Amino acid sequence: MKKIKLFTLSLLVILISVTACKDEFLDVSPQGSLGTTELSTLAGLEGSLISAYSILLGRAGVANIPNSFYADASNWFWGSVLGGDANKGTNAGDQSQVNEIQAYSAQTNNSSILQKYAICYEGVARCNATLRLIQTADLVSDEDKTRIAAEARFLRAHYYFDLKRNFNNTPYVDENWDEVTEVGNRDDLYAFIEADLMFAKDNLPATQSDAGRANSWAAAAYLGKVYLFQGKYGDAQTILTDVIENGVTTNGQPYDLVPNYANVFRSTNDNNEESVFAAQAAAGTGDINNANPSMVLNFPHGTSGPERPGGCCGFFQPSFDLANSFRTDGNGLPLLDGSYNDTSNKLTDDLGVESGTEWAVDQEYGMNTFVFTFDPAEPNKELVYKSLSDGNMGNDPLSSPAAWEFVWEEGNESVDPRLDHSIGRRGIPYLDWGRHPGKDWIRDQPYGGVYSPKKFIYYAGGIGTENDGSSWTPGYTALNYNIIRFADVLLMAAEAEVEVGTLDQAAEYVDRVRARAAASPVLDSNGDPAGNYVINSYGTFASQDQARQAVRFERKLELSGEGHRKYDLVRWGVAADVLNDYLAHENAILVSPFQGASFSANQDEFLPIPQDEIDLLGADVLIQNPGY
């Protein structure tokens, strides 16, 4: 099968404790429920395991965990919005409960924070339930039990890693939990995460029957990532090198970069050679929660149809800082000194300019004022002018074109082509939907900016197959989210190589990623590059400091909008400096969601533990994070 089957089993009655009563005839299973006898079969174990996989999409399907747009494995809000890749977008009133979070003023009773916390622990609980069932599965082969246990422990490691990155040290519970045992904050979750991933690496097969399942190489790559987050660079270098040289996908393809960057983000190319481990999405299953349910807000604003995707809602707008980061110098390299935001370097944008006019020309001519317009949808149409005083139209050119005053014209700054794969900007083809028209696709420019998200959008040519149109919005897509992809592995390995001092190997990995970007220009309708794409390789690094800057910046470019940025900044120890500069930059441009915002070191690296959870366990057991 192309993907693992996606459905959510209700596991409300999985584990039935043995009581002291010996009168077995009094033990009657509730009607319509599943007990350990039914679930301890191979089919029962697989069903329980699939329910643990399903939590990657962020929807639990149980009454005590309401559906959320912020709980899935992509961490588009927690990693990318809070990391400066994008702002919430839309307007101030929509989903206003997250306004305080993106301003780094999160309250301990915020409902979206509670939902993220709860969904991670729901994932842990389902993994533990599967592992508990294995203990009574006497009729299942040892081979199947070992494989299922390894998959469950891989997933448990993922959910705890998500908790670690977002909340730091939270309670650890395994399959042998005892409800009377006090479980408080662990000093360090990493030891438990490492143990689960090591077990998974050693016991999972290299290939599996379903492409969506974890394999041994995914576990190895994930373990390398966990090493990197702890600064264990030698361990990370060793294991990531093995993954790069020998790793294969679950469906048996040697790991490699997809030749064209755009095809990393198309559902028709899911589970490709670059996909190390992905949250699986599928459209047309009869349940929209199988179809990437947390991304439905993140489309250009406006009514869906043949002219634009989504039908909602204008969230997840890429930041000016991110867009400017794709500027390149005369050598085709990034501006690592931070000057990409300078007035002389930043991208031309259309803030405040209406759609439908690529440029307008106002000129006084005798008694009349003329406005010339150019419609980007009809690039070959003759320029026309209109007399504003009497409404007469003409098509004769004015005698003094040097007097034309350009209001807005598409810029020609040199850029990395990944800009136009990652960010929707005016005048550039938006996948196969035509040119991005600018303001018409933006809900509130002064609040959210001028850019639209682009990586997780379905294609016009894929309507009905790449998306699920059975609900209130057609923005439920079949596009997987790659929790780890091979480009990420290469850049993690490059980082490890820098820190252990092998700079040439680091440059080789970075340049491999950049070479794929160079080979992936966005083309216009004539087959020509849609932007002024100038990108080249580093070749060598002059120093460890330059290499470190280059690798870190490459992660920003390559993985933008994929939920990584804030976590990287935190583990590098630079979050406060970088994000406060980001806030100042965006605040100077927008009627900003960031007014008065600041990132507080030693606090905002992590979210607050939800107060509801502290109230349940007690403040002496579940300890709040510093500063909240």
The dihedrals phi and psi of 46, each to the nearest 5 degrees, come to -65, -40
Instruction: Judge contact between 122 and 65, C-beta under 8 A.
Output: yes
pLDDT tops 80 at residue 11: no
| 3 state DSSP class of 276 | strand
| Integer Cα distance of 27 and 575 in angstroms | 56
Q: Given pLDDT bands bounded at 50, 70 and 90, which one contains residue 353?
A: confident
Q: Which residue has the higher pLDDT, 564 or 409?
A: 564
Q: Given pLDDT bands bounded at 50, 70 and 90, which one contains residue 140?
A: very high
Output b/e per residue, 445-478; b: 16+ Cβ within 10 A: bebbbbbbbbbbbbbbebeeebbbeeeebbbbbb
- Sign, Cα dihedral of 28, 33, 36, 38: positive
- Sign, Cα dihedral of 105, 110, 114, 115: negative
pLDDT tops 90 at residue 14: no
Q: Summarize pLDDT for 487-538 with one digit per residue, the tens.
A: 999 999 999 999 999 999 999 999 999 999 999 999 999 999 999 999 999 9
- pLDDT score, position 620: 84
Whose structure tokens read 């000016």? Answer: 320
Average pLDDT over residues 350-375: 56
Contacts of 40 (CB under 8 A, 6+ apart): 133, 136, 137, 138, 139, 140
Of the listed ranges 404-408, 444-448, 518-522, 542-546, the least confidently predicted one is 404-408
Average pLDDT over residues 348-374: 59
pLDDT tops 60 at residue 398: no
- pLDDT score, position 329: 97
| 3 state DSSP class of 49 | helix
| 3 state DSSP class of 503 | helix
Strand partners, 315: 89
CATH of 1-204+596-628, one of 3.30.420.40, 3.30.360.10, 1.20.1250.20, 1.25.40.390: 1.25.40.390
Q: Which residue has the higher pLDDT, 22 or 375?
A: 375
Global confidence as pTM: 0.89
| Integer Cα distance of 570 and 575 in angstroms | 5
Q: Which residue has the higher pLDDT, 197 or 188?
A: 197
pLDDT tops 80 at residue 134: yes
CA-nearest of 195, 223, 250 to 1 is 250
| Integer Cα distance of 370 and 347 in angstroms | 29
- Sign, Cα dihedral of 96, 97, 102, 106: positive
Q: Which two tokens stand for residue 137?
A: 């599965």
Q: Largest Cα–Cα distance of the chain, in whole Å?
A: 105
DSSP state of 456: T
| 3 state DSSP class of 619 | coil
| Integer Cα distance of 298 and 315 in angstroms | 5
pLDDT tops 60 at residue 395: no
Strand partners, 467: 477
Q: Summarize pLDDT for 199-226 with one digit per residue, the tens.
A: 999 999 999 999 999 999 999 999 999 9
| Integer Cα distance of 418 and 85 in angstroms | 14
Whose structure tokens read 């705890």? Answer: 160
Q: Given pLDDT bands bounded at 50, 70 and 90, which one contains residue 303?
A: confident
- pLDDT score, position 36: 67
| Beta-carbon-side half-sphere exposure of residue 354 (alpha carbons within 13 Å) | 6
Alpha helices in 97-205 (DSSP H): 99-102, 111-134, 142-167, 190-203
DSSP state of 577: H
Average pLDDT over residues 7-28: 33
| Integer Cα distance of 306 and 417 in angstroms | 26
| Integer Cα distance of 109 and 400 in angstroms | 64
| Integer Cα distance of 207 and 200 in angstroms | 13
CA-nearest of 168, 199, 218, 202 to 488 is 218
- pLDDT score, position 401: 41
Average pLDDT over residues 569-589: 97
Instruction: Judge contact between 625 and 131, C-beta under 8 A.
Output: no
- pLDDT score, position 452: 97
The dihedrals phi and psi of 78, each to the nearest 5 degrees, come to -70, -35
Which one-letter amino acid corresponds to residue 35? G
- pLDDT score, position 178: 65
> What's the mean pLDDT when you consider all of the chain?
87
Average pLDDT over residues 482-488: 98
| Integer Cα distance of 132 and 597 in angstroms | 46
Contacts of 110 (CB under 8 A, 6+ apart): 97, 98, 100, 101, 608, 610
CA-nearest of 529, 517, 530, 528 to 260 is 517
Q: Which residue has the higher pLDDT, 355 or 544?
A: 544
Q: Summarize pLDDT for 111-132 with one digit per residue, the tens.
A: 999 999 999 999 999 999 999 9
* Domain boundaries defined on the chain: 1-204+596-628, 208-277, 360-403
Q: Summarize pLDDT for 450-473 with one digit per residue, the tens.
A: 999 999 999 999 999 999 989 999
pLDDT tops 90 at residue 1: no
397-398-402-407 Cα dihedral, nearest 10 degrees? -80
Percent above pLDDT 70 for the chain: 84
- pLDDT score, position 314: 95
Quickly list DSSP for 59-120: ---STTS---SS-STT-IIIIIITTTSEEEES-TTTTGGGHHHHTT---TT-HHHHHHHHHH
- pLDDT score, position 510: 98
Average pLDDT over residues 60-80: 92
Instruction: Judge contact between 274 and 489, C-beta under 8 A.
Output: no
Q: Given pLDDT bands bounded at 50, 70 and 90, which one contains residue 15?
A: very low
Q: Which residue has the higher pLDDT, 338 or 383?
A: 338
| Integer Cα distance of 325 and 317 in angstroms | 15
| Integer Cα distance of 303 and 291 in angstroms | 20
| Integer Cα distance of 431 and 461 in angstroms | 10
Whose structure tokens read 């009497």? Answer: 390
Q: Which two tokens stand for residue 149?
A: 């246990």
Whose structure tokens read 């807000």? Answer: 297
Q: Which two tokens stand for residue 601?
A: 């070191």
- pLDDT score, position 40: 84
- pLDDT score, position 411: 82
Q: Counting Cβ atoms within 10 Å, is residue 490 exposed (0-12), middle (13-18) or buried (19+)?
A: buried
Helices 544-558, 565-572: axis angle to 10 degrees equals: 160
Average pLDDT over residues 362-376: 43
Percent of residues in the chain assigned helix, strand, coil, to nearest 5? 40, 10, 50
Neighbours of 525 (CB within 10 A): 10
